[in-house]
Amino acid sequence: MRTKFTVNEDESVTLRFTDIWGTDWEDTFSVYADGLGYVRRSDGRQICDKLACTGETLMSTSKNLLQVIRREYKRLKRDNEKAYNFFN
């Protein structure tokens, strides 16, 4: 599956991709409506750098959310490729 970013009607962003180990992923991200700009997953968890659950908390506006998710996905992908190459 190719990586696909979709901006939804509610201004959330859905990310679909297959990781380097062949696992298909899909998740939706939105800016929490508390006025502070925290990015959250569809299950309500706050998201940090590289789309992880720990680390530096991601903040955005609805307008910039797609750019933030793309940037963090690229960082995640780069780290996964480094790890994959290390072990192979």
Evaluate whether 20 touches 85 at the Cβ level (below 8 Å).
no
Whether residue 1 has pLDDT greater than 80: no
The predicted structure's pLDDT at residue 81: 83
Structural domain containing residue 16: 4-87
Count: domains in the chain: 1
Interval 15-56: pLDDT, tens? 999 987 788 999 999 998 777 899 999 999 999 999 999 999
pTM across the whole model: 0.86
Q: Using DSSP bridges, classify how beta strands 4-7 and 39-41 pair: parallel, antiparallel or unpaired.
A: unpaired
Evaluate whether 33 touches 55 at the Cβ level (below 8 Å).
no
Count of CB atoms within 10 A of residue 53's CB?
A: 9
